[in-house]
Amino acid sequence: MAEDKINPKCKVVIVGGSAGSLNALMQILPELYVLNAFALVIVLHRRGTDDMTLEELIKIKTEVPVKIIEDKEPLVPGFLYVAPSNYHLLFEKEETMSLDTSEKVNYSRPSIDVSFESAAEIYGDSLIGILLSGSNADGTEGLKTIQKAGGIIIVQDPDSADMPFMPNNAITHTTPDFILNTDEILKFIISVNS
């Protein structure tokens, strides 16, 4: 791993995923105990319901405090945030998050692209974007935007993904800074956190 590509001024690590990404997260999150300098935001494709099962599962699996995102919620380092179902997650200049009910993007709301692009606009080179397993093209355009803004982009190694289409698409259409399996993604997050 190229140490010079690890961003010491990271404010936000945003993780996107779809089918199969929960398995990857369940390997990563139990090994995260504290976030020192940044917030971790998770944007997963979900069924369009008010079901809180994902948030509850994540709370059980990590010692990092989990916050349920509400409209105009401040983004605070040290917390893990999960994008709610049936809303696009947006980031605002006041370092708050907003929820949007506009049309689905890539058949999804929340859309990974929408959240990645919004985060890139606010956090620029202090953002790290990670794209996990999935079965559609969501996330690729968002990764491009993060990289163009000076942030670091990481794609799950397709060989380690339950559904390799999403990471393969990103690798084909972007130049990731890193292509990592779940263990390597965990090590990367810990290295940024130390």
Which residues participate in catalysis according to the annotation? 18, 45, 138
3-state secondary structure of 159: helix
> Bridge partners of 17?
44
Provide CB contacts within 8 A for 121, sequence distance 6+. Answer: 91, 145, 149
Provide CB contacts within 8 A for 161, sequence distance 6+. Answer: 20, 24, 132, 133, 134, 167
3-state secondary structure of 109: coil
Backbone CA torsion sign across 38, 40, 70, 115: positive
Tokens read off for 24: 């990857």
Provide CB contacts within 8 A for 46, sequence distance 6+. Answer: 54, 85, 86, 110
Question: Tokens 């398995």 belong to which residue?
Answer: 23
